[in-house]
Amino acid sequence: MKAKDIMREIITPQWLEVHGNWTVDRLKIGNEECEVKKIATCLTATPDVIRAAGEWGADLLITHEPTFYNHVDDFDEGSRLSVMKRALIEKYGLTIYRYHDSQHMAGVDLVNLDFIQKMGWKGEFDNDVYFVSDEPMDVRDIVEGIKTRMGLKHPRIVGKTDGKVTKIKLNLGHRGGDSYREFAEGQDWELVIGGELCEWADGEPVRDAAQFGEQKTLLILGHAGSEKSAMEALARDVDKKFDGAEARYFECGELYTY
């Protein structure tokens, strides 16, 4: 089966029909007409991921995040690193597609849904970013669950480190921008789980709110750490689905070394 046909089934024709003129979910490099026997998935196509997928014999690499250091993945001839990365991709003959927008916005946020399911939470999910637990959950238990179920060694906690919560917002991957400040200022949510933050702009208001005695906690998991399980799930979902093509997830690892 051709790479373009596989991606049209994953992204869904309805999404492309409505959003195809702006979405980043498209071919980034390679030959979309290539026949695919092996599908690799990853959160970010780092050089190590490209090498590992290439040595495995992948024809198609599906990445959630950009390959060439900007959101729309425009290749910059003046970027030394982009040129080096393109050469490495071409060495292995990889075709790379991006799978991002439709994974988040095609009716249900599949990244957030995967996180909730993997954590084993029971409650009401609005299919976007908000989750209300059926029962109060202890903040420390949530942190331990993230470490064991998501395989993350170093969740960072801002604000109140104990207490029980039911109202949770998921900002997996991205920073969240002003939403962290709005959360601290009084949004009716007790816990936000995010990927990144600017400490002085995002973290300090949450810490201050907690020191005023409010149940406000922000958990920062790292961009890759907070979203990668959804790309693992994609590999499981598509394995042998397309003319028997084998699929495998390739780990990019956490950005930081502790």
What residue ranges in the chain does DSSP mark as E strands? 27-29, 38-42, 60-63, 95-98, 123-125, 130-138, 156-159, 164-171, 191-194, 217-220, 246-249
Residue 14 has pLDDT above 80, yes or no: no
- What's the pLDDT score for residue 175? 74
- Closest of 249, 248, 244 to residue 1, by C-alpha: 244
Side-chain-side CA neighbours of 222 within 13 Å: the count stands at 21
Task: Provide the pLDDT for residue 21.
Answer: 80
**Torsion over CA of 12, 95, 245 and 71, rounded to 10 degrees?**
-40
pLDDT at 148: 96
The β-bridge relationship of strands 130-138 and 164-171 is antiparallel
Question: Per residue in 221-247, pLDDT tens?
Answer: 999 999 999 999 999 999 999 999 999
Please list the residues that pair with 40 across neighbouring strands.
61, 248
Through-space distance between the first and last CA atoms of the chain, rounded to whole angstroms: 42
Average pLDDT of the chain, as a whole number: 94
Rounded to whole angstroms, the Cα distance separating 196 from 208 reads 19
Cα distances (Å, whole numbers) of residue 68 to 40, 79, 99, 160, 161: 18, 9, 15, 38, 37
- Asked if the model's pLDDT at residue 126 lies above 80, the reply is yes
CA separation for the pair 209, 205 (Å, rounded): 6
Is it the case that residue 15 has pLDDT exceeding 80? no
